Chain A
C-alpha cells in the first residue's frame, strides 16, 4: 500500500505495476481527470491547492482503511496538485485483489473518501478567462461552531 500527494504527472503504468502480484486475479485502475465542461461552461484547466501535510496523512489513512476493509495490501493512490490541463489525470487509484468484486469496491471506497475527506481544493479556469473555486459543500462534515 502507498499514498502520495504529487506535483509531477501521475504514471498509471507505474501504479499498476506496483499492485501487480500473481495472487491477484483482478486489477482495477480508477483515474479522475480534468473535464472540458462544468455546469455547461467551457473549462480550460484546473488549479489544485492542497494542505499537503494533512492530505498526505489523510490519504494514507484512507488507503489503510481500504486495505483493512477489502482484505488486500495492493492499494495505491496518488493525488496531483498544481496547474492541470484538460484531460490530465488529477487522481489515480490502483487496486489488486484476488477477486474483481472487492477490487472494484476498494477503488470506489478510496475515491469516495478522497472526495469527502482530503484537504484539496480545485479552482476551475474557464475559457472566458474567469476562475472559480469549486464549492463542493459537504453536509457530511461536521462544521465547527
Chain B
C-alpha cells in the first residue's frame, strides 16, 4: 500500500518536502515507517521522531492501515 506521511520542522527541511509517499507492505507498522524515513534522510543528523497515526502518538508496533493520517513528530518545542 502507499501511504502519505506528513513532515514538520527539521525533518521537512531535511527531506525537502512537507510530505512523502511511502510504499509499504500490507502488514507494515509504525516502526517500519520510521525506518523507511530514516533511510530517506540518509546520514542527516536529525532528532529522533515519534509517529502519529490519526493525530495520536503510537508505539512502534502499531499496524498502519490504508487511509490512516500519518505524521512524523520530531521532539516538540512549542510555547
Report if A and B associate in a common complex: yes
Interface set of A (CB-CB < 8 Å, partner B) = 32, 48-51, 53-55, 57, 79, 90-91, 111, 114-123, 133-138, 141-145
Cα(A138)–Cα(B76), bound, Å: 8
Number of B residues near A (Cβ < 8 Å) is 30
Cα(A134)–Cα(B77), bound, Å: 6
- Our count of residue pairs bridging A and B at CB distance below 8 angstroms stands at 98
Cα(A50)–Cα(B34), bound, Å: 19
B79:A111 contact, CB within 8 angstroms: yes
Give the 10 A-B CB pairs with smallest separation, nearest first.
A120-B78, A121-B9, A54-B55, A136-B77, A118-B78, A134-B77, A133-B10, A144-B60, A145-B60, A115-B79
Interface set of B (CB-CB < 8 Å, partner A) = 6, 8-10, 12-13, 30-31, 34, 47-52, 55-60, 69, 71, 73-79
Q: How far is the CB of B68 from the nearest CB of chain A, in Å?
A: 13
* Cross-interface CB contact of B75 among A51, A111, A135, cutoff 8 Å: A135
The chain A residue sitting closest to B29, CB to CB, is A144
